[in-house]
Amino acid sequence: MTVLAPIKRRRGRPPKDQAAFSETKADLIRSGMELLTEKGFSSTGLDEILGRVGVPKGSFYHYFGSKDAFGSELIKQYTTFFNHKLDKFLLDESLAPLDRLEAFINDTIAGMARHEFKRGCLVGNLGQEMGALPESFREQLNEVFIEWQQRIALCLEQAKCAKQISVKTDSTEAAYVFWTGWEGAVLRAKLEQSDSALKVFSAYFLDSLK
Amino acid sequence: MTVLAPIKRRRGRPPKDQAAFSETKADLIRSGMELLTEKGFSSTGLDEILGRVGVPKGSFYHYFGSKDAFGSELIKQYTTFFNHKLDKFLLDESLAPLDRLEAFINDTIAGMARHEFKRGCLVGNLGQEMGALPESFREQLNEVFIEWQQRIALCLEQAKCAKQISVKTDSTEAAYVFWTGWEGAVLRAKLEQSDSALKVFSAYFLDSLK
């Protein structure tokens, strides 16, 4: 994600024309995404999300039915963004399959470093918080992990064909291990404010496939 | 952790005699531990912690200086509890070293299952929430991971001597990978309400050592 450009402060009721309404809604989603990847759902207040975008207090419900509906929309948008990112790397035929996975890993490490290891993964954050979240988020989050897992599994199958990894690898299981450990590494990177866990876990994982 | 026995509802000011005061303080810590392992720090209100123990609202500050001081105390007590648990398994000379690690893993899986995968790791939960927590928690949490890592590294060194794992294993690095991935697995187990991530990750990890 890129850093938000400063946004003009808006006053009064929400804009009536559709373009301005949609723009403000998109800004609220970007603001929510930034805050939730840093702090999670429970710690982020609506006022803080609105404040960053310059939307007056109390007008949130013009844009979203509830904080829960907003959270659900954020998961959807984050998933779209992240699936696109994964595809950009994992379907890049200019690289050998395993090198694509490595390129994705390196890009994510660089992204976390750019935000000083303050921002993690929205899906990991909400997964950790699940005990305090609306039950409807659970299925949505589990489905996201399955989508991501399928993408890595496909890449590992291709790495098998390219003889980069052992043909005995169970790609689906290895992809599951990858996401399990990677979310743990993102958590640890935020805590340590360092890329160490991301580098050590991914090197260990890639090495174990060979 | 064991399930709390029903606690008699207390009324009025905190007890004056030291034994009753200490008992109530210990109950508050147990109540906080249960809630924070389920929901994390930010989502848990003081009223909820007090309510479970039957302590009147507003009397929290008789026992702890602040919610932050309470959180810090919980980390300390959880660490003591967990170090004891790790030592019980990892120093059990009736088992071969790697089998001790496996016994610890199996016991943790059984513990999570007993609580229907609702309770995770206090240190993992707070680590994930770090963006919203007092900065002083960071060093405390990082130190806990180092203590746990040292215990696993020692066990892996002993597994090397017992020829259970490759002598080429970097025990410190492998122990770091273990905790990174294990915290990810605990997160995923809570989300999936299943032992799958714990079993798959630990089997992968143990296999990678051989």
Confidence of residue B15 (pLDDT cuts 50, 70, 90): low
The tens digit of pLDDT for each residue in B86-115 reads 999 999 999 999 999 999 999 999 999 999
Chain A residues in contact with B144 by the CB 8 A cut-off are none
Secondary element (H or E) of residue A47: helix A46-53
Confidence of residue B10 (pLDDT cuts 50, 70, 90): low
Yes or no, beta carbons of A39 and B177 under 8 Å apart? no
Confidence of residue B57 (pLDDT cuts 50, 70, 90): confident
Q: What is the pLDDT of residue B3?
A: 41
For B207, nearest residue in chain A (alpha carbons) = A208
The tens digit of pLDDT for each residue in A85-132 reads 999 999 999 999 999 999 999 999 999 999 999 999 999 999 999 999
Q: Within 13 Å, how many C-alpha atoms sit on residue A38's CB side?
A: 18
For B118, nearest residue in chain A (alpha carbons) = A131
Residue linked to tokens 């929400």: A14
Yes or no, beta carbons of B40 and A118 under 8 Å apart? no
Alpha carbon of A155: minimum distance to chain B alpha carbons (Å): 19
Q: What is the mean pLDDT of residues B51-58?
A: 88
The tens digit of pLDDT for each residue in B119-138 reads 999 999 999 999 999 999 99
Q: Which residues have C-beta within 8 Å of that of residue A174, sequence separation ≥ 6?
A: A152, A153, A156, A209, B204
Task: Report CA-CA distances (Å) from A185 to A5, A118, B37.
Answer: 29, 13, 19
- Architecture per CATH, domain B74-208, reads as Orthogonal Bundle (1.10)
A to B CB pairs, distance under 8 Å: 142
The chain B residues in contact with chain A (CB within 8 A) are: 38-40, 42-44, 118, 120, 124-125, 127-132, 138, 141-142, 145, 173-174, 176-177, 179-185, 187-188, 190-193, 197, 200-201, 204, 208
- Are the C-beta atoms of residues A156 and A209 closer than 8 Å to each other? yes
If one counts every other C-beta atom within 10 angstroms of the C-beta of residue B56, the result is 15
Yes or no, beta carbons of A188 and B208 under 8 Å apart? no
Q: What is the mean pLDDT of residues A42-69?
A: 91
Q: Where in chain A is the domain with CATH 1.10.10.60?
A: 7-65
Identify the CATH number of the domain defined by range A7-65. Answer: 1.10.10.60
Yes or no, beta carbons of A200 and B180 under 8 Å apart? yes
Q: What is the mean pLDDT of residues B34-55?
A: 92
Nearest to A38 among B131, B182, B184 (CB): B131
Alpha carbon of A24: minimum distance to chain B alpha carbons (Å): 26
Lowest model confidence (mean pLDDT) among B2-11, B40-49, B136-145: B2-11
Using a pLDDT cut of 90, give the percent of chain A over it: 85
Confidence of residue B22 (pLDDT cuts 50, 70, 90): very high
Alpha carbon of B75: minimum distance to chain A alpha carbons (Å): 15
Chain A residues in contact with B185 by the CB 8 A cut-off are 180-181, 184
The complex scores an ipTM of 0.90
Yes or no, beta carbons of B192 and A43 under 8 Å apart? no
Q: Where in chain A is the domain with CATH 1.10.357.10?
A: 74-208
pLDDT at A174 > cutoff 60: yes
pLDDT at B58 > cutoff 90: no
Q: What is the pLDDT of residue A109?
A: 98
pTM, rounded to two decimals: 0.91
Chain A residues in contact with B132 by the CB 8 A cut-off are 38-40, 43-44
Yes or no, beta carbons of B191 and A130 under 8 Å apart? yes
Yes or no, beta carbons of B180 and A184 under 8 Å apart? yes
Question: How far, in Å, CA of A197 to CA of A200, rounded?
Answer: 5
Q: What is the pLDDT of residue B2?
A: 39
Q: Name the H helices within chain B.
A: 18-39, 46-53, 60-63, 67-90, 97-114, 122-128, 136-161, 171-192, 196-208
